[in-house]
Chains A and B, each alone.
Chain A
Amino acid sequence: MSGPDDATLTIETTLLGRRYGRRWALRDCSLSLPRGHVIGLVGPNGAGKTTLLHIVAGLLEPTTGQVSVFGTRPRDPRALARIGFVAQDKPLYGRFTVADMLRMGGWLNPRWDRASALARLAGLDIPLDQRCGSLSGGQRAQVALAVALGKHPDLLLLDEPVANLDPLARRQFMQMLLEHVAATGMSVVLSSHLLADLEEAWDYLVLLSASRVQLSAPTDELLHEHRMLSGPPSKADAIAAAHSIVQSSINEHQANMLIRARGPIHDPDWSVRPASLQELVLAYMSAPLAGVAPALSLVGSAPEGSR
C-alpha cells in the first residue's frame, strides 16, 4: 500500500477492454479517478458501466488493458478489504435474516463496524429477524448498503443502486450513503442511466457511451466550461474555430450549440447560458442533430474524455 498513486488515485485503468465473443462491452477505457469524490458513471444501457464496475471490483478479468485500485490489482488481498461493491440486484442470501447478514459481515471482513450498521437499520425500522428473501425492494437496498458500508471500504462501487426504488427509498438510500461519505471521506463510484436524484450527489462524472469513455472530469469543471449558445448561423463557424462544439443544431434562422468553451465569449449576438448536467450528458451521448445547413460533428468526444 505505498507509492505516489495511492495518495491521489483510487482507480486507474489503461486501455481497459472486455470482449464477449465478438462484442466489445468496453473498449480503450483509460481513467485516472481521484480519491475523495462521489463519481457518477453514466451512460445508456449496454454502454459498459456494469462491465467496468465488475472489473474494478475484481469479479471480471479484462480482455485487454490494465486496472489498478489503490495501486494494486483489485483481487490483491490489500485491495480486497478496501473495496466494497453493491451489485445491481442487491444480492443477499435469501434464507439469511437481516441479523445473519450483519454477522456475515463480521465473519468475512477483518474490519467490521457492527454498531453503525445496526443503528442505520434501526433508524429505518428494518426488523433484524426478517429473512432477506421477504424484504421489499427498498429494504433490500438498505440492507445491502449497510452490509457494504460496514466494512468501511475506502472505495465503494454501486451499480444502478436506485433505479428500481420508489422515491422515498431512493432518498433514504442516498442519505445513508452520503452521510457515510461525509463522515469518512470514502470514495464512491455510482453508476446510473438516470440523472435526476443523483446529480446532487456526484462531484465527478465519467460518461461511457458506445463502450468508450467520452468524458471524465469534475462536475464543477464541466459546468464551468460548457455553455449553451444561441445566435446567428452566420457566426457559427467562428465559434467552431475558437471552441469545441459538442452538439449543434443549425437552421437558416438560428444556431443552437452546446460548446466546451476555451475562453470567454464576448460577441453580444450570442445568448449564452450555462449548460446543465443533463444537457451535457445527453449531448455527449447522442449523435449530432441533422440540420438544414451542414451540421457540425461531435468534435468534443474521446480525446477530451480520456484523461
Chain B
Amino acid sequence: MFEFQLDPTSGVATYLQLVQQVRQALRIGILRPGDQLPTAREVVAKLAINPNTVLKAYRDLEREQLVVARPGQGTFVSHTLDGPDPATFARFTAQLSRWMSAAQAAGLGPEDIEAIYRTAVRDRFAEGVA
C-alpha cells in the first residue's frame, strides 16, 4: 500500500504535500491505474493529521481526474499523468547526475546544491502574489 510522508519543515501546506506525492508517484510509476490509495483513516492513523486534510487532497486529485472515489470501496488511481515518458525522465535524471558530480568536484556540498536548486525552482515557478 502506498504510504505518505510529511515534511513539516518544507513550508508547503500538508494537503499539497499529499497531492504532490501522489502526482510524483504517478510520474515515476509507483502508482498505476487501479491501485488503491490508503483510506483517510489509514493516513490519519499514521500521520496524525486532520482527516479533512486527506479528504481535501483526494478531492483535488479527483478534480484533476487522476483518482476516482468509489463509495464503500475507497479511492483508486484512474489515470496516469500526461507527462513525459520514462525515457525523457531518464535523460534528465542522467543530466542532473552529471551536473551534481561536477558541482561536487568544484567543492559544493549537499546544502549548497540544495540551496541552488530551491532558489532556481522558486524563481522559476513562484505563484503570483495574492
Contact with B along A152-175 (1 / 0, CB 8 A): 000000000000000000010011
The CA of A237 and the CA of B46, in the complex, are separated in Å by 47
Does more than half of chain A's interface fall in helix, strand or loop, or is it mixed? mixed
Chain A residues near B118 (CB-CB < 8 A): none
Contacts of B14 in A (CB 8 A): 200
B53 at interface (Cβ–Cβ under 8 A)?
yes
Contact yes or no, A178 B45, CB < 8 A: yes
- Residues in B with CB closer than 8 Å to A268 are 129
- B13-49 contacts to A, CB under 8 A, are 13-14, 39-41, 44-49
CB nearest to A227 among chain B residues: B130
Q: A264-B130, A265-B130 are in contact. Are A38 and B50 (CB under 8 A)?
A: yes
Q: Which residues of B sit under 8 angstroms from A89, Cβ to Cβ?
A: none
Contact of A272 with B130 in the complex, beta carbons under 8 Å: yes
User: Is A203 on the interface with B (CB-CB < 8 A)?
Assistant: yes
B65 at the interface (CB under 8 A from A): no
Determine the chain B residues whose CB is within 8 A of the CB of A200 once the complex forms.
6, 8, 14, 47-50, 53
| B48:A174 contact, CB within 8 angstroms | yes
Which of A171, A175, A178 has the largest number of chain B CB atoms within 10 A? Answer: A178
Query: For residue A203, which residues in chain B have a CB less than 8 angstroms away from its CB?
Result: 50, 52-53
Is A179's CB under 8 angstroms from B47's CB?
no
Cβ-closest chain B residue relative to A218:
B52
Contact call B130/A201, Cβ cutoff below 8 A: no
Q: Determine if A182 and B44 form an interchain contact, defined as CB atoms under 8 angstroms apart.
A: yes
Q: Of the candidates A178, A223, A272, A274, which one forms a contact with B49 in the assembled complex, judged by CB atoms under 8 Å apart? A: A178
Q: Is B109 an interface residue (CB 8 A)?
A: no
A179–B50 CB distance below 8 A: no
Is B51 in the interface zone, CB < 8 Å from A? yes
* Interface pair B130/A175, CB less than 8 Å apart: no
Contact between chains at A201 and B129 (CB < 8 Å): no
Per-residue CB proximity of A24-60 to B under 8 Å, as 1/0?
0000000000000110000000000000000000000
Closest chain B residue, CB of each to CB of A36: B52
Q: Give the nearest-CB partner of A264 in chain B.
A: B130
CB distance from B1 to the nearest CB of A (A): 16
B72 to chain A, nearest CB (A): 14
Chain A residue with the shortest CB-CB distance to B39 = A182
A242-266 residues with Cβ-Cβ distance < 8 A to B are 261, 264-266
Distance between Cα atoms of A38 and B50 in the complex (Å): 7
B-facing mask of A264-284, CB < 8 A → 1, else 0? Answer: 111010001010000000000
14 contacts between A and B (CB under 8 A): A37-B52, A174-B48, A175-B44, A178-B45, A181-B50, A182-B41, A182-B44, A200-B48, A201-B48, A201-B50, A203-B52, A261-B130, A268-B129, A274-B130
Binding site for B on A (CB under 8 A): 37-38, 171, 174-175, 178-179, 181-183, 200-203, 223, 227, 261, 264-266, 268, 272, 274
Residues on B facing A (Cβ under 8 Å)? 6, 8, 13-14, 39-41, 44-54, 129-130
Further contacts, 12 of them, CB under 8 A, given A178-B51, A227-B130, A265-B129: A38-B50, A171-B48, A181-B44, A181-B50, A182-B41, A182-B54, A200-B8, A200-B14, A201-B48, A201-B50, A202-B50, A274-B130
